[in-house]
Chain A
C-alpha cells in the first residue's frame, strides 16, 4: 500500500486511481449537476464504482483486449467506465455523441465492438437502428433510464444492473480484479480515439497508458497543476483534448472534473464552478465573445462608454501586464481601475474569474480574439498536437505568448522540420498504431521513428513553432506563386460575420471563395439596421450582407498584399452559400473542419460559375435534418467581385 502511495510513477490509469483513493479518498473527484444540485463523487467512491463496473463487465465475459465503445455527453459514469475497462486490460473507445447511425456503424464494425455503453434512450435507438448490421454486439448498457421501461431485449442493461452484478461478483471473487489490475502494463493500449477524418474514413488511433501518462504529467508539470484545480468537462469525450484534460490529467494530478447539467447550461454551470484550468477550441472563445459583444450593444450608453474606454486601456497594456513586461505607471493605474469596473465583472460573467491557465487548440485563433482574453487578464495560451500525439507537442510558456505561433516543444518532445516544411515529432506520447491499418501506421511514422504530422511549419528566431497550413494543402497558383488556402480561410473566419469560408485557387489563375455567414452575428447586425429576413438562406442573399462580406474580403486582400509572398492569393470573386455547411451533410467533419474535396465536388457548378463571368448561379441542394429526414434547399446565388490591391495598397480594380 505504501508502495502504491509513494512508489514510482504508476504505469497505468487504474493504478493512478487507486493511489488517489488512498491519498485523497475523501476529496471530490467528479461532480455533475443533476436536479439543480452539484452531486459529487469522492475519489474513494469513484474507485469503488469503477471496481464494481469492472467486475460486472468481467462477469459478462469482457476480456483483455476487448474494445468497449462509449457514446454520450460528459457524465461521471462515462469517465468511470473508461477506467473500469482499463482495469480489465480492455480498450475504451469514446465516440462523438452526435454521430449519425451510419458513422457509428463504421466505427463499431471497424473496432469489432461487442460491448457498448451509451447515455440514454436516444443513443440506444440509434444502436437498435443498425443492430442487424452488428451481429457481434453482446451487451448494450445505458446510463439514463428515462424512457427505457419498454426495452425488454435481453442484451440491454441499465448500468445500475451492471453495478449490482459487479458488487456481487466482487464479493465472490475478491482477488480477481486486483490480479487483473496488476497484469496491466504501461505499454498496453489505454484508449482508442478515432481521427476526425479530414482525409478519408476515420482511423482508430491506439494510444498506450505510457503515452497518455507522459503527456499528462509533462503538461501538468509545465503549468504547475495541482490536485486543487477545477475543470469543466464539456467537450466531446471522443476528442483527444478532452481525454487529455478531463481524463488523463485529472487522474495523474488528482484534480476535480465537473460535468455540466446539459449542453445548454454550460455557461451558467461554468460560472458556478469557476474553473481554474480551462480548455476550449477557438470556436467556444469566439462564441463567448460574440455573446458579450451583443449584450454590450444592448447596454446603456454609460456602460457602453465605460466598456469601450477600459477595453482600449486593456488593448494597450493588458497583455503586457499579464506577461510581466514594463508598463507606464499611468496605464497601470488605469488598468487597476478597469479591473474593478470592467474586467473583473466581465470575467465573472464568463465564469473565468478563477482561471489560472486556459488553453486553446484545434484550429487557428484570431489575433483579436486571443488578445481580447489576454488583455482582460485571462492567461489564455495555445498548444499544438494531434490525436496521434495525445494533443501534446508544443505549449506556450507563461510570459512568452504570441498569437501566430504555438509555442515551444513540450518537455520530452522532439520536434523537427522536414525539407518540405512538414513538422515531424518524436517522443513517448506517440501513437502505438492505427487499429488494423499497418499501411497507415507505416505511412505516418518514418524510419527514424518520427511521426509525420502533415502540417507545414517553421521555427521562428526564438524557437517558437509557427503553423502555416496542412503540408499537402500548400499549393501553387497557375503562375507558380505560393497558395495556402487554410491560411486565407482562417483570416476570413477571424471576422465575426464569417462563420466558414472555403477558398479555391490551386492551379488556377485567381483565388475565389465560398462564404458562410454567421447567422447570430449577421442576424444581429441586420436587426440593428432594420433589415428583415426569414432565415439563413434569405439573409445570405441580401445585397447589404454581400456588401458587408465584401468589406471583410477586401481587408483580407489588403493584409495579403502586405505579406508579399501571398499577394497573388487575393480573393477576386466570392459568393455566399445558401445553406450552412453541416457535418450531417458530410461537408464538415465532426470537429467542424471543412472537407475541401467533398465540398468542391458537391458544389462544382458554383465553382465553375465563380471562374466564369456569370453574375449569378442557380443551385439546388439536398439537406439532411437532425432526425434523418431529407429536404431540398435551392437558391439563385449572386456572385460578387472584391477589390484587389497592388503592392503599396492602391486598388487595382
Chain B
C-alpha cells in the first residue's frame, strides 16, 4: 500500500512578481498534486522563497493566478490561505522565543478557536472545553515529533535543530492539507537532517499532507521528493521527477556552473 498521489490541488499559472525594477519571478507555471512532496530548488536569489510567499499570499503577483482546488485567486492573502488549509514554516524560525514549546504549538490552533475573549479570560464554558480539545491535538503533535521532554521549555533555550522541529509542530497543529516548508534543514547537522526527513515523510505518509519544500541540500531533495521544480533568476528552468531534473543540462549548469 502506498499513498495515492491525486489530481492537482494547487495550480500556479503564469505568475510574475517584481519589486520595482527587480524581477523576482517571471512567468512561472507549475502545479502541485494532492499528497505529493513537491520540492522547489534553485541557487541563492532564484526566487524560491518569493514563490512560497506568493502561494500563501504574503506577496501579490502582478500577473498570473493561483487555482486552489478549482477556485481561482488572483489575490491570495495569508488569512485566506490559512483558512484554506495551507500552513508554513519559515527559513528564520518564526516562534515566540520566550514562550514554551507547548504554547508556541498552541498558537498554531488559533484559527480554529471559536470562543471569544471574555470566555477565554475566565476559562469558562465553551472556552474550557475547547481548550481541552485543542490541547489534546497539540499533545498529539508533540508525541508525533517526539518532543515530550521539552514541552515546558521556553523555545529560546532550545538548540536550533529542535527549534526547527517546534516550528514544524506549530505548522502541523493547524492540521493543514498543504504544508509549505521553507528550508526545513538549513543549518542542521547530519543527524538532525535525518530526523527531519523522517518527520516530513511521516507527515506525508500518515496524514496524507501535501508538502511543498524549499531545500538547498540536493541529496535530501532527490531522496524524498516526488517532483522537483527548478528556478534560476526567477525563471523556471526544469520541472519533473528527481532523475529527470538531475539529468537536465540547464539545471546542471545553473547549479554547477558552465563546463560541467
Contact = CB atoms under 8 A, between A and B. Distances in A.
A262 B143 CA distance: 10
B1 A152 contact: yes
B149 A36 contact: no
A201 B136 CA distance: 47
Given A35-B140, A36-B142, A150 B1 contact: yes
A635 B144 CA distance: 40
A261 B146 CA distance: 10
Nearest to B194: A627
Contact of B139 (A36, A146, A265): A36
B205 interface: yes
A147 B205 CA distance: 9
Contacts of B2: 150
Nearest to A625: B191
Given A150-B1, A152-B1, A261 B202 contact: no
B151 interface: yes
A261 B205 contact: no
A36 B148 contact: yes
A262 B149 contact: yes
A419 interface: no
Contact of A262 (B139, B146, B206): B146
A77 to B, nearest CB: 16
A264 interface: yes
A268 B135 CA distance: 19
B205 to A, nearest CB: 7
A268 B146 CA distance: 16
A149 interface: yes
Nearest to B198: A147
Nearest to B1: A150
A146 B205 CA distance: 11
Given A149-B1, A261-B148, A264-B149, A35 B202 contact: no
Interface in B185-204: 202
Contacts of A146: 144, 206
Nearest to A261: B148
A147 B2 CA distance: 13
B1 A36 contact: no
Contact of A147 (B135, B151, B202): B202
Interface in A253-271: 261-262, 264-265, 268
Interface string B110-149: 0000000000000000000000000110011011101011
A35 B136 contact: yes
Nearest to B151: A36
B225 to A, nearest CB: 19
A36 B147 CA distance: 11
B106 to A, nearest CB: 12
Main secondary structure of the interface of A (DSSP, over half): loop
A35 B135 CA distance: 9
Contacts of A37: 139
Interface in A147-177: 147, 149-150, 152
Nearest to A150: B1
A510 to B, nearest CB: 42
Given A36-B139, A147-B202, A264 B148 contact: yes
B148 A262 contact: yes
B1 A265 contact: no
Interface string A366-391: 00000000000000000000000000
A265 B143 CA distance: 12
A35 B147 CA distance: 11
Contacts of B149: 261-262, 264-265, 268
Interface string B204-239: 011000000000000000000000000000000000
Contacts of B1: 149-150, 152
Interface string A19-53: 00000000000000011110000000000000000
Contacts of B205: 147, 149
A36, A37, A262, A264: residue with the most chain B Cβ atoms closer than 10 Å: A36
Contacts of A35: 136, 139-140, 142-143
Contacts of B144: 146
B109 to A, nearest CB: 15
Contacts of A149: 1, 205-206
Nearest to A266: B149
A265 B148 contact: yes
A627 to B, nearest CB: 8
B202 to A, nearest CB: 7
Contacts of A268: 149, 152
Nearest to A35: B139
A22 B136 CA distance: 34
A262 B144 CA distance: 13
Interface in A289-325: none
Interface in B1-37: 1-2
A34 B140 CA distance: 9
Contacts of A147: 202, 205-206
A36 B2 CA distance: 32
A147 B152 CA distance: 26
12 contacts: A35-B140, A35-B142, A36-B135, A36-B139, A36-B148, A37-B139, A149-B1, A149-B205, A150-B2, A261-B148, A262-B148, A265-B148
Interface of A: 34-37, 146-147, 149-150, 152, 261-262, 264-265, 268
Interface of B: 1-2, 135-136, 139-140, 142-144, 146, 148-149, 151-152, 202, 205-206
Given A36-B135, A147-B202, A149-B1, 17 more contacts: A35-B136, A35-B142, A35-B143, A36-B139, A36-B151, A37-B139, A146-B206, A147-B206, A149-B205, A150-B1, A261-B149, A262-B146, A262-B149, A264-B148, A264-B149, A265-B148, A265-B149
